[in-house]
Amino acid sequence: MKLNDINLLGIDVGFSKSRPTTGIAWSTNGTFGAVKTHTDWEHRRQQLPSVAAFSVIAIDGPLVPTGSPDRLVRTCEQVLARGAFQKRCKPGSSHFGTGLQLKRAARNRGPG
């Protein structure tokens, strides 16, 4: 398999309701692209390249199972918010404040 055969998609989730704060980058069929767009699915969908399928998708945003409560405390966040990670990664919690807004934006995806 050649690198040109791998379709990659990366999404950096943003959550502003008024400004384009979601970044989308891709590599498909040997071409590269990147855009900044709004949080809602309709805007995100319009910016995706027309590719039948992606080989790899990376999403920078807290992903939770469908139907999980907004205020769910994630163990992984509690672990990363302690010790060496606290100063290096600056992780936050996704069950309150701006972390909760980010979680909601990461969940804001299209059907399926």
- 56 with 70, same domain? no
- 3 with 52, same domain? yes
* Res 111 pLDDT > 50: no
Higher model confidence: residue 111 or residue 6? 6
- Report the sign of the C-alpha dihedral through residues 50, 53, 27, 18, in that order: positive
Rounded percentage of the chain residues whose pLDDT exceeds 70: 87
- 78 with 55, same domain? no
**Model pLDDT for residues 55-74, shown as the tens digit of each residue:** 998 888 777 778 888 888 87
- 26 with 45, same domain? yes
- 43 with 83, same domain? no
- 33 with 68, same domain? no
CA angle 17, 91, 80 (to 5 degrees): 145
- 35 with 67, same domain? no
To which residue do tokens 């701006």 refer? 98
Query: Tokens for 69?
Result: 């409560």
- 31 with 18, same domain? yes
pLDDT at 20: 93
Domain coverage including residue 81? 62-112
pTM greater than 0.85 (yes/no): no
Residue 112 confidence class, pLDDT cut points 50, 70, 90: very low
- 49 with 82, same domain? no
Question: Which candidate, 11, 18, 109, 21, places its Cα nearest to that of 66?
Answer: 109
**Model pLDDT for residues 12-38, shown as the tens digit of each residue:** 888 888 899 899 999 988 889 999 999
- 5 with 51, same domain? yes
Q: What is the widest separation between alpha-carbon atoms in the chain?
A: 44
CA angle 106, 108, 112 (to 5 degrees): 110
Domains: count for the chain: 2
- 43 with 22, same domain? yes
Residue 89 confidence class, pLDDT cut points 50, 70, 90: low
pLDDT at 75: 80
Last residue of a domain, one of 44, 60, 76: 60
